[in-house]
Amino acid sequence: LIQLFTLMLGANVIKGALYVYDTYDRFGGTGAGRGIRLIITSIIILALVRKFCRFLIAFVHYAIIGTLLHIYYRVFNTAVGSDIVAIQAILMVMICGFYGLGKVWGLTYSIIACISVLLPNYLSFRFNGLQPLPSALDQIYIAVNWAVIVLSHFYFHRVLFRQLSAGKLQNQQLDQLAQAKSTFLSTMSHELRTPLNSVIGLAELLRGDPKDQLQQQRLEVLQFSANNLLSLVNDILDINKLDAGKLELETTSFDLNELTAGIFSGLQAKADEKQLKFFISGEKLPHQRFFGDPTRLSQILYNLVGNAIKFTDVGQVELEVTEIRSNEHNSSIRFKISDTGIGITPEQQQRIFQPFQQAMASTTRKYGGTGLGLAIVKQLLEMFGSQMEIQSIPTKGTVMSFVIELKKAENTAVAVVNQQTTVADLSS
CATH number for the domain that contains residue 185: 1.10.287.130
> Is 12 inside any structural domain?
yes
**Residue 54's pLDDT band (boundaries 50, 70, 90)?**
confident
Supply the pLDDT for residue 185.
Answer: 65
Using H for helix, E for strand and C for coil, what is the string for 331-398?
EEEEEEEEECCCCCCHHHHCCCCCCCCCCCHHHHHHHCCCCCHHHHHHHHHHHCCCCCEEEEECCCEE
> Is 359 inside any structural domain?
yes
pLDDT tens per residue, range 27-42: 676 767 777 887 888 8
| Same domain (yes/no): 269, 209 | no
pLDDT tens per residue, range 192-242: 766 777 777 777 777 777 667 777 777 777 776 776 677 677 777 777 777
Supply the pLDDT for residue 427.
Answer: 36
| C-alpha dist (Å) from residue 150 to 1, 60, 71, 87, 325 | 15, 19, 20, 14, 63
| Same domain (yes/no): 391, 314 | yes
Q: Is residue 2's pLDDT more than 80? A: no
Domain count, the chain: 3
> Is 159 inside any structural domain?
no
> Is 162 inside any structural domain?
no
| C-alpha dist (Å) from residue 253 to 146, 259, 413, 419 | 71, 11, 11, 18
Torsions phi, psi for 262 (to 5 deg): -65, -40
> Is 218 inside any structural domain?
yes
| Same domain (yes/no): 220, 338 | no
**Residue 419's pLDDT band (boundaries 50, 70, 90)?**
very low
Rounded distance between C-alpha atoms, residue 106 and residue 94, angstroms:
6
| Same domain (yes/no): 263, 347 | yes
Q: Which of 252, 265, 260, 253 is nearest to 419 (CA)?
A: 260
| Same domain (yes/no): 31, 114 | yes
| Same domain (yes/no): 295, 172 | no
| Same domain (yes/no): 269, 378 | yes
Rounded distance between C-alpha atoms, residue 99 and residue 6, angstroms:
15
Rounded distance between C-alpha atoms, residue 49 and residue 213, angstroms:
82
> Is 239 inside any structural domain?
yes
| Same domain (yes/no): 334, 260 | yes
> Is 335 inside any structural domain?
yes
Supply the pLDDT for residue 363.
Answer: 53
**Residue 415's pLDDT band (boundaries 50, 70, 90)?**
very low
- Specify the higher pLDDT residue, 138 or 278: 278
| Same domain (yes/no): 176, 95 | no
Taking residue 115's Cβ as centre, other Cβ atoms within 10 Å add up to: 12
Rounded distance between C-alpha atoms, residue 186 and residue 293, angstroms:
22
Domain-ending residue, one of 228, 244, 260: 244
Rounded distance between C-alpha atoms, residue 224 and residue 292, angstroms:
32
> Is 72 inside any structural domain?
yes
Q: Is residue 284's pLDDT more than 60? A: yes
**Residue 249's pLDDT band (boundaries 50, 70, 90)?**
confident
- Specify the higher pLDDT residue, 185 or 51: 51
| Same domain (yes/no): 123, 221 | no
For 37-58, what is the mean pLDDT?
Answer: 82
Domain-ending residue, one of 153, 182, 216: 153
- Specify the higher pLDDT residue, 392 or 148: 392
Question: Is the sign of the CA dihedral 119, 124, 125, 128 positive or negative?
Answer: positive
Helix (H, G, I), strand (E, B) or coil at 296: helix
Amino acid at 420: Q
Angle, vertex CA 300, rays to CA 269 and CA 365, nearest 5: 60
| Same domain (yes/no): 183, 133 | no
For 360-377, what is the mean pLDDT?
Answer: 63
| Same domain (yes/no): 142, 219 | no
Q: What are the residue ranges of helices labelled H in 52-83?
A: 56-75
Chain centroid to Cα 401, Å, comes to 24
For 264-289, what is the mean pLDDT?
Answer: 85
Instruction: Please check whether residue 402 is in contact with residue 382, taking contact to mean a CB–CB distance below 8 angstroms.
Output: no
Domain span at 28:
2-153
Instruction: Please check whether residue 333 is in contact with residue 321, taking contact to mean a CB–CB distance below 8 angstroms.
Output: yes
pLDDT tens per residue, range 80-109: 778 888 898 899 899 888 888 888 999 999
Domain-ending residue, one of 218, 244, 270: 244
